[in-house]
Amino acid sequence: MKNEGLDLGTGPILTLLLKMSWPSITAMFAMALYNLIDTFWLTRFSSQAIAALTICFPIQMVFGAIGVGTGVGAGSFAARMFGAGDYLRAKQTAGQIIILSAFLGILIIAVTLIYHDIILKIFGATGDVLPLARQYLVTVVFGSPFLLFMMMANNLLRAEGKPNTSMYVILVMSVLGMVLDPIFIFGWGPIPRMGIRGAALSAIISYFSAGSLSYYYLNLKSSKYDLHWRYLLPNFSIISSIYQTGFPSVIMNLVFGLVLIVYNYVLGFFGSLAIATLGLCFRINGLVVMVLFGMGHGVMPMVGFNEGAGLHKRLMETVNVAVKISFTFSVAAFLLFELFAPSILEFFTNDAELLEIAVPALRIFVSMLLFIGPTLMWINMFIGLGKGFTSMVLLMMRDAILLIPMLILLPSIFGLNGVWMAQPISNIVSFFIILFWTRREFRMMETKVQAP
């Protein structure tokens, strides 16, 4: 399948942004849809299974943080090398992610198998939820090396200007998972009923398929990368450069894992139905947020390329176009969820007690969408510029400094509704802080544009 690279330094910005973003948007939406369908089938199994999946979600976020952060660093570095014309170091980057994904994946498996119960209890698993969470975690962890490699390789494919290819990989993973989920959860023909362990097994098969396909695309003759053995030797200079940008992204995603620990801890006082509600809210809201992440993934390599080429005016125009599109989409999604919250939730469950909690929770929770679109575009701008520390500080301010205290304080004032209010309030405050830093960055770019 032919997939020509895009020239990120010329042509209409809106057209390029759409070409770079829509494949990632499609892929991220497919991932969110896969998570929703996973939830749909497990609600048919038991509400405890949804609570167990919600407990495991932040653990997977912690593991995924390593892959996402490394991938972001590798993609940003490769995009800047392509923009600067240094194709050798860009090629070497592909070899480093193979080494890193194998090493980190095996490490994650070992730690999880040894300390699984301790990890699950830290993340809030108790009572009848713990055995189900254990079944899922000790199974799905074996897919870690393949998932990590897919996450890292996906960023390299986008940095190469081949967003369609990254989309194909994630679509294969998501569609395969959607097909296998009901088969392995409920059984079919010779395949026995496996419940939540079946959901984990379908995930492993999906991760392996996506990882294998990613390797295939990176190794094609038409690829700008090269997986020759000489590039598979550790290059600590490149690894260091990857983590100069990527490590802050690792920290940011780890902080989100910490936030989910606090969520699960606080909701533990309100019962397993409240924890299950959080899982529903995150996955439904995730349909929109993942689309915005996809757009941000399109912005990042465009920013990195234009920064490397010294095209600062074009860089600022790119970010502004992305902000306008993301804000319009976010507002439309917010209105949709507010109007149809009961119908949306009834698609997943007919449990009256769960719906009584979930409908008002979703309506409050999705108000975060009003501000998150522009925020994500600005954060991806800083990552694309190679300013990973700045993006880390800004997101930690939102997800740790603002959100965690609100999760602790607001429930004591507003009860369970206070838990759902914490995220929107922290997003409103952080929006204006990140806007201030973005304008500051733009002023510095304008100085470069005006310089003779």
* 29 alpha-carbon distance from chain centroid: 11
Give the phi and the psi of residue 188 in degrees, each rounded to 5: -165, 125
- Residue 174 phi/psi, 5-degree rounding, is -70, -45
Bridge partners, 188 (sequence order): 191
What's the angle, vertex CA 302, arms to CA 76 and CA 9, rounded to 5?
125
- Give the Cα separation of 66 and 254 in Å (integer): 8
Q: Which of 398, 403, 401, 405 is nearest to 434 (CA)?
A: 398
Tell me what pLDDT residue 291 has.
Answer: 87
- The whole-number pLDDT of residue 4 equals 46
3-state SS, 192-254, equals CCCCHHHHHHHHHHHHHHHHHHHHHHHCCCCCCCCCCHHHCCCCHHHHHHHHHHHHHHHHHHH
- Give the pLDDT score at 80: 82
Q: What is the pLDDT of residue 3?
A: 38
pLDDT, one tens digit for every residue, the chain (452 residues): 333 455 677 778 888 888 878 877 888 788 888 888 888 888 777 778 888 888 888 888 888 888 888 998 888 888 888 877 777 888 888 888 889 999 999 999 999 999 999 999 888 787 788 999 999 999 999 999 999 999 999 888 878 877 778 888 988 999 999 999 999 998 888 889 888 999 999 999 999 999 999 989 888 877 778 777 777 788 888 888 888 878 877 877 787 778 888 888 898 888 888 988 988 898 888 888 888 988 887 888 888 888 877 888 888 999 999 999 999 999 999 999 999 999 999 888 888 888 999 999 999 999 999 899 999 999 989 888 888 778 878 888 887 889 999 999 999 999 999 999 999 999 999 999 999 999 998 888 888 766 55
Q: For residues 133 and 136, give the distance between their C-alpha atoms in angstroms, rounded to a whole number.
A: 5
Residues 305 and 318 sit within 8 Å (Cβ to Cβ): no
